[in-house]
Each structure stands twice: as structure tokens, then as C-alpha cells.
Structure 1
């Protein structure tokens, strides 16, 4: 199906605004945020593993520590690359924080130790306690390595927070009432002209799916809106797929009583916007929030 011209125009506007947002001040703020976050990750992994002496123990508590450990390899490995050298390791567990089994943790630790850059942890080969200068250098180097990978995520998080805050603020200005977030498991949970921020919708076959903004409409209809900021067209595929997955789960459980919407911002391929509308997902843009409010007004 041909891509609608309006999708091409809106995607071009969103991209131009995203590029305008990449000013030196904002870019520096994103980088410093990513470094601070990465330093916290590295510090937690260091303590959980008894300063790298027991990596397996850390992974049986929280597999997210492997995000840090992968940066210590020579050279560092991506998730897909590490999965090739250690099939027992779980990419899903690292992403979710689920603990690895003891067997998987031991295999993962063995793979890490075999490729570890011991210049980052000289106390291990020196069979001594880590000094303050050892830890300072370790955190400095690992934080930069990890932040280089996570800078795009940091930028997207900042923009996503601003995007959601703008929607919440605008709803309040138009007289919408904010309700405490809770799992929505009955049709009348969100009355007309009320909304929830960061709540969950029950589904029939999966765990409750989180939604960024839930707006109550007349006759117990609810708009479930996902706010999506993307850094590039490749990233947009993942974000759009997330919306489509949730839309399908909600449709199976709620039928037409849940209307799925996506609020888009950043660099998004017009073909991905088309995929949303083809799946009956309402599409709105952060650069035209008034259109979203007009849509809501017409539904009331």
C-alpha cells in the first residue's frame, strides 16, 4: 500500500525538530546523564560481584550486571556477539534483570573471565584488595565505555519524559482529571474526561501491558496511548513493533473498547507510520498536540 503523503510530511517535520534538539547544550547534558547512569551500573556490578571475584554470584541476583561485564572484555562484545561465545547466557535476562540459574551464571562467568581485560582489574591478577585508585580508574573507564553505547537511550529517555510531561500538562489545561495509576481490568475503570499516566491494561493471554497515557472516553471506551521517541529509522521499527504488539493484545481482550494510539516524536520512517494506521492505530505527533486534543474533544 502506498504511503500517505501526510505521513511523509509529519515524519519530515518530526525529524527536523529532532535534529534541532541536538544542540551542544542538550547533547552535553545527555552525555553527562549517560555517564552518571553508567557509573552507577558499574559500581553496582562491582559490589555485587565482590569486586569481580565472584561474577557468577552477581548474575544469580541480577543478570543486568552482565551489561557491565561485557564492557570488560577485550574487546567488549555486543549482546548478540556474547550469545555466540556463551549460549547459556540469556539476552532476555540481561534486559529484564531476571536472575540467571546457577549453571548459566557459572558458564557466563567462565566466558567473561576467559576474555576479561585484566588491566581494568589489576587487583585480581595481583591477588590483593582493590585500592581506591583502582576503583576510581575502573569506574571512569567502564562508565565511558558503557555510556558510549547508552547515549542514544539517554537522549531518548530525556525526550520521552518531556513528551509525556507535555501531554499530562495539556490534559490538565483542558480540564481532564488525573487519576492514580492502577491496573485497568474493568471497562469503567477510567471515566470520561479522566486519565492515568503510566498504568497497565489487563490482557487475556499475556501479563498486563503498560500504557503511557490512558484517557477515558464516553460509554466506557478508553484511549490507550503509547508515547514513542525514536533516534533513527532503525530504532523506530522496534518502537512501532512495541505499539503493534500491545494493540493486538488489547484488541483480543477488550475488543473495540480500547482504542490504541501512538504519539510520535523523533526520526521515524514514514513506512512505519503507515504500519500503525494500517493496523487501526490512531497516530498523533508531539509537534501537533493540539490535533490530539481536538480528536479527544470530538470523542466526548
Structure 2
């Protein structure tokens, strides 16, 4: 039943996204102006191409396109927006955008046909993201629950600028580590003592292609943390789903500790063995 509800919800959201992009681009006749205002429209526009393209595929088609604008909603510069708009118009699915070639306003039946063909493509992507985020949140909850059960203390903070911000047997959920450039968010930061912190990323993947993206994200963060903190910040990955063997090898080669959601006991044993500053779980009685 949850699968059907996810799909129905995703369809509603996808339809709203398509309608919003159609309206704000003046039914695809004012792409450049709309992209200057917000890059979020690219999620819909990429699915109007023939064939529909992923972010990476569109980046090859239009090198000036920056993937992050879809997530942040940041507007493009007029020059970049012009290049992106030109690529979209050239590669668009002409069968469902006939009014552009005819230089007229779209008919209602044409708009409905476009929505019917595009919304399911977006819905599939939204469902996969929804399930992945739900499972990732479950991973994080399982780790924080395990740490609390072992007597660890949750600590709050938006930015880890010194490693003393994460003392032994303390953890921070959804915080950021300072780096030489931009701070990088970490799912769970665990204080191991001796100014050593474990930065744990929780990743759920749907398929081997998705696995590459998730592992690349971990490696990017690990490189940034190591460059700034050296060996005082160790990186770990808690994995679940379909993960390519080569991707696991890449993590291990980069000195990232790999754990699996179905075997949290191994993580528990590891973290006990690597605590260098054991703190008492209760205070000693006063004499």
C-alpha cells in the first residue's frame, strides 16, 4: 500500500512541477528569462528532451550547465541561461511541443499530452528519491539510537570548527565540518577521543548507477576533510541497497571505513575498539 501511496503522491507533485515550469517559461517560449530566475526548471526541462536526459548527460550536451542550480534553485547568468535554453530548444521532443514550431499558443489538448508523457518520468525519479531519503533517515536513526544505548550523548552544533567540538562519546547529527573551501555536511559525527572524530555518511542506493553518485559524494567529502583535518577526521560509510563492488573498492582505497546497515554489530564493535578516551557512563559516587 505504501508503494501505491508514494506513486500517487509523486504523480501529484510531478504534475505541479510540470505545470509550474510551463507557466513560468510562458509555455516554453521564454526559457532564458525563466532560467535566469531559477534553475529548478531544469528538472522538468531535461525530461522534455528526446530522449530525456540525466543531469550528467545534459552536462555533456551543454558544458556551461551547472547541476547544482536544480537543487538550490539559484538563477543562471543570462549568458549561461541562453546556452542552456538553446540546447533545450534544439533537443526538445518536437512531438509534444508542436506549438513552438508553429509559432502559436499551445492548445489545451497539447498541454495535457505533454503532462501525461512527462509526469510519469518525473514521478519515477521522485519515488526513488523519496524511498532513498526515507531509508537514509532510518539508517541515521538506527546509528543514533545505538550510540544513545551505549551511553553516548547527543551534542548540538551547526559547524565543527575545532575537533574539541566533538568530545569523546558525543555525537552530532546533521552538522558541518569546516574545510579549506566550503563546509561539508556530515550525517553523524562521532567523537572517538584524542581529538579524533569519525565522520559517518549514510547512503542508500537504488542501482549501480546511483551507487556511483553516492560513493562519489562520500569520496568528495572525505578528500575535503582529510585535506583540512588530516588523520584527525576519519570517514565512514554506512551503505544499504545496490552498491557496485568497484565502488566499495574505491572507498576502501581512499581509507574510508565501510559498514552495512544489516550488520550494525560490526560498527558497534569497531567504535568500541577505537575509543581512545573512554569516559565513564555514570559518575563515581562521592566519598
Query: TM-score higher than 0.5 here?
Result: yes
Note closer, same or farther for the CA distance 1:157–1:277 as it changes in structure 2 (3 Å cut).
Answer: same
Judge conservation of contact 1:276–1:283 (CA < 8 Å) in 2.
yes
Judge conservation of contact 1:260–1:282 (CA < 8 Å) in 2.
yes
Judge conservation of contact 1:159–1:229 (CA < 8 Å) in 2.
yes
Kindly report which structure 2 residues correspond to 1:101-250, keeping only aligned pairs within 5 A, or say none: 101-117=77-93, 120=96, 127=104, 139-204=115-180, 206-250=181-225
Question: What's the TM-score once normalised by structure 2's chain length?
Answer: 0.79
Q: Cα RMSD over matched residues?
A: 3.1
Q: Deviations over 1:124-179 (max 9, x none)?
A: 76855986x87666545432122234543333222212212222233233332222
| 3-state SS in 2 of match to 1:217 | strand
Question: Are 1:70 and 2:46 matched, yes or no?
Answer: yes
Flag structure 2 segments of 5+ consecutive residues without an equivalent.
279-287
In 1, Cα distance between equivalents of 2:165 and 2:93: 54
How far 1:102 moved relative to its partner? 0.6
Q: Deviations over 1:192-245 (max 9, x none)?
A: 2221111111112x2111111001222222110011112223332332232222
Question: Are 1:251 and 2:238 matched, yes or no?
Answer: no
Question: What's the TM-score once normalised by structure 1's chain length?
Answer: 0.76
In 1, Cα distance between equivalents of 2:52 and 2:249: 37
Flag structure 1 segments of 5+ consecutive residues without an equivalent.
1-24
In 2, Cα distance between equivalents of 1:187 and 1:85: 43
Question: Are 1:297 and 2:272 matched, yes or no?
Answer: yes
Paired positions, count: 274
In 2, Cα distance between equivalents of 1:155 and 1:60: 31
Note closer, same or farther for the CA distance 1:138–1:166 as it changes in structure 2 (3 Å cut).
Answer: farther
How far 1:80 moved relative to its partner? 5.0
Note closer, same or farther for the CA distance 1:275–1:119 as it changes in structure 2 (3 Å cut).
Answer: closer
Note closer, same or farther for the CA distance 1:268–1:81 as it changes in structure 2 (3 Å cut).
Answer: closer
Question: What corresponds to 1:38 in structure 2?
Answer: 14
Question: Are 1:283 and 2:287 matched, yes or no?
Answer: no
In 2, Cα distance between equivalents of 1:83 and 1:246: 22
Structure number with the bigger relative contact order (C-alpha 8 A, sep ≥ 6) is: 1
